[in-house]
Structure 1
């Protein structure tokens, strides 16, 4: 915090202006309940399902959906985590590619119907990296994508199987998903870059 006696220095990072709240905590919960039912219906139950959350906000979504599907199906569903930081094509490619061990996901993905989860689908680059990482762990029977928000602007031919909401945005707008497990609050905001 800056007081009146301390000269402030201009920030180099872009400023964001909140344009509005797109989803409240209760709307997020209702959306996840609907998505859990859609997953169960599309996959003829949950016996062969494995849910994989992409770090960071995909992980709590996967855990919540796993608990919801367990209530519907009356048996536990494997829930795992995928860290794609080593697979990003927008990071430096200098140096050797780190080794990822099969235990990183948390369960065997071979022959399973995997639902890959992330909070926002935008260009598709995160999902492409996640698919690379997932296939380093094994060969699933199928891979389906679930996102809480699809905001458009795809650069790659990637489409979600399950979508919480589709929210068209401009290139200056950003969707901020806030989840209690990561952010200490629960909501989805639309913010805009300000010059």
Structure 2
């Protein structure tokens, strides 16, 4: 569905849209949601920095303990939460994730963020929006709207994690890549969503 060039173009477009909406990089902080959102946040920050000539703070926000399905999922190790040194208070925070599906991961991210600080504004950037929301959550910046059936899984592969970039749709749960769109955890460091 998306090859490396498609992903690069989508991230460049998202970066420019963030800059336009924010009127520059002032007070901007990007927080990636592990696993796939972290390298995507770094890539977006690099693109914004190239345009604006300033470094954009990037961090990661683990949402594991804030999920509403914690007891229904297999246990997994907590991933690091890394908030930039200047924090997120009164900043424009852009949450970055690989795939938006039910909205539950983003709801958990909002709860986790409230324990860290109080941003002025929170926005959401995703590489893929596959639909099928359980919660009223919408992305502000979308690389690709990819309609899927409930039986399908979106698989995002990223160079930093998998050694190559790509997005595919699979009818079955497959191993390898960060799978998004199911409620199962794969043998990959990424989690199903």
Query: What TM-score, normalized by structure 1, do the two folds share?
Result: 0.82
Residue in 2 aligned with 1:160?
139
Distance 1:141 1:129 in 2: 18
Higher relative contact order (CA 8 A, sep 6+): 1
Q: Gaps spanning 5+ residues in structure 2: where?
A: 73-79, 174-193
Match among 129, 132, 148 for residue 169 of structure 1: 148
* Greater strand fraction, Structure 1 or Structure 2: 1
Residue in 1 aligned with 2:83?
105
Distance 2:68 2:135 in 1: 13
Match among 27, 42, 51 for residue 72 of structure 1: 51
Residue in 2 aligned with 1:90?
69
Q: What secondary structure is seen at the aligned counterpart in 1 of 2:70?
A: coil
Whether 1:51 and 2:26 are equivalent positions in the alignment is no
Q: CA deviation at 1:85?
A: 1.0
Residue in 2 aligned with 1:96?
none
Over the residues paired in the alignment, what is the CA RMSD in angstroms? 1.6
User: What are the Cα deviations for residues 27-63 of structure 1, in whole angstroms up to 9, with x where unaligned?
Assistant: 1001111111000000000011000000100000000
Moved over 6 A (4+): none
User: What are the Cα deviations for residues 97-122 of structure 1, in whole angstroms up to 9, with x where unaligned?
Assistant: xxxx9x73233000000000000000
Q: Gaps spanning 5+ residues in structure 1: where?
A: 1-21, 94-100
User: Number of aligned pairs?
Assistant: 165
